[in-house]
Amino acid sequence: MLFLKLIGLELLLLYVAGLSFFAGIKGILISGIFVSILNFIFNYQNFWSWQLIIILMVMIGSLINYLLDKKTHELRIIKVTAGSIVSLFTAPIFFSIVPAFLIWIVIIGIPLGFTYRNITKFVYLQILFRFIFGFGWIIIGNVIY
C-alpha cells in the first residue's frame, strides 16, 4: 500500500512540474496550490515553515516567468522545447537510456533543430528556468512527504 501511495505522490508531483513547464504563471500558481495541499496533508505540524517557502517560490517563479515571457514572445517554441525535454527525461523510465536518447533524437531533436534556426538566448534561459523550477516542485514535494 505504501508503494502505491508513493507512486501516486510522484505522479502528482510530475503533473505539478508539467504544469510549471507548460502553463506559465497559471501553472506556477496551480502548482503552488497542489504542493500547499500536500504540505497540509503530510506536514501539518510544520505547515507554516514550509508554506512560507512555497509562497516565496510561487512569487519569485511568477516574477521570473513574467520577465522572461516579456523578453521572448515565442511561447510556441518554448512549449515545443519544454515538451521535448520532458519527453527526453521521462522516456528512460520506460526504455533503457540509450534507446530513449536515440528515439528522442529521431522524433523530436532533429525536427526541432531544422524547424527553429534562430533560437535566442532568452528562450534557452526560459526553458532552463522552467526545467529547474519544475524539478524544484518535485524536490519540495518529496522533502515534505
Coil/strand/helix, residue 82 = helix
Q: Which residue has the higher pLDDT, 35 or 76?
A: 35
Q: 38, 116, 104: which is closest to 75 by C-alpha?
A: 116
Q: Which residue has the higher pLDDT, 54 or 21?
A: 54
The mean pLDDT value for 34-45 works out to 84
Kindly report which listed range (48-57, 67-76, 85-94, 136-145) carries the lowest average pLDDT score.
Answer: 85-94
Domain layout of the chain by residue ranges: 2-144
What is the reported pTM? 0.65
d(C-alpha 84, C-alpha 96), whole Å: 17
Determine the pLDDT at residue 77. Answer: 58
Determine the pLDDT at residue 89. Answer: 60
Q: Would you give the DSSP letter of residue 117?
A: -
Mean pLDDT of the chain: 74
- Give the model confidence (pLDDT) of 58-80 as tens digits: 888 888 878 877 776 655 555 66
Which contacts qualify for 132-138: CB closer than 8 Å, 24 or more apart?
Answer: 133/20, 133/28, 133/61, 133/65, 134/16, 134/17, 134/18, 134/20, 134/21, 135/17, 136/57, 137/13, 137/16, 137/17, 137/20, 137/31, 137/35, 138/10, 138/13, 138/14, 138/16, 138/17
Highest mean pLDDT among 25-29, 71-75, 104-108: 25-29
Which contacts qualify for 113-116: CB closer than 8 Å, 24 or more apart?
Answer: 116/77, 116/80
Which contacts qualify for 33-36: CB closer than 8 Å, 24 or more apart?
Answer: 35/137, 35/140, 35/141, 35/144
Highest mean pLDDT among 9-18, 46-55, 131-140: 46-55
The mean pLDDT value for 7-33 works out to 79
d(C-alpha 35, C-alpha 13), whole Å: 8
Determine the pLDDT at residue 116. Answer: 58
Determine the pLDDT at residue 98. Answer: 64
Q: Which residue has the higher pLDDT, 101 or 64?
A: 64
Determine the pLDDT at residue 68. Answer: 77
d(C-alpha 86, C-alpha 98), whole Å: 16
